[in-house]
Amino acid sequence: GAVVSQHPSWVICKSGTSVKIECRSLDFQATTMFWYRQFPKQSLMLMATSNEGSKATYEQGVEKDKFLINHASLTLSTLTVTSAHPEDSSFYICSAGGPGQGGDTQYFGPGTRLTVL
């Protein structure tokens, strides 16, 4: 149980285009999902917390107009990188809060590798 999927797993796009990444909780409902960014050989950096039916909460330094987050249902959150540029190339990974040991646990999707040319 507690499976999170992400689509696409990798994407290559031209500079200036927008890219949408989907995060789905497959076997549980997630009122809260999280979006992280990870550069090579670095740790995960939280970008935003996505709450179903309300606006996302962005971390300091993350441009909300650049990274649009929509959490339209209890099983789906989307991250849209608008007008992507090469510096947006990174590994994007989502997680969903779900039932786990001793309370609730964050379960992670497999990640999306974005390359902007």
Partner 1 sequence: AQKITQTQPGMFVQEKEAVTLDCTYDTSDQSYGLFWYKQPSSGEMIFLIYQGSYDEQNATEGRYSLNFQKARKSANLVISASQLGDSAMYFCAMREGPSGYSTLTFGKGTMLLVSP
Q: Which residues bind partner 1 (CB under 8 A)?
A: 31-32, 34, 38, 42-44, 46, 49, 91, 93, 95, 97-98, 100-111, 113
CA atoms of 106 and 48, how far apart (whole Å): 14
Q: How far is the CB of 105 from partner 1 (least distance, A)?
A: 6
Which lies closer to partner 1 via its Cβ, residue 83 or residue 105? 105
Which lies closer to partner 1 via its Cβ, residue 32 or residue 82? 32
Q: How far is the CB of 65 from partner 1 (least distance, A)?
A: 22
Residue-wise burial string across 67-94, b where 16 or more C-beta atoms lie within 10 A, e elsewhere: bbbebeeebbbbbebeebeeebbbbbbb
Closest Cα partner for 81 from 73, 72, 90? 90
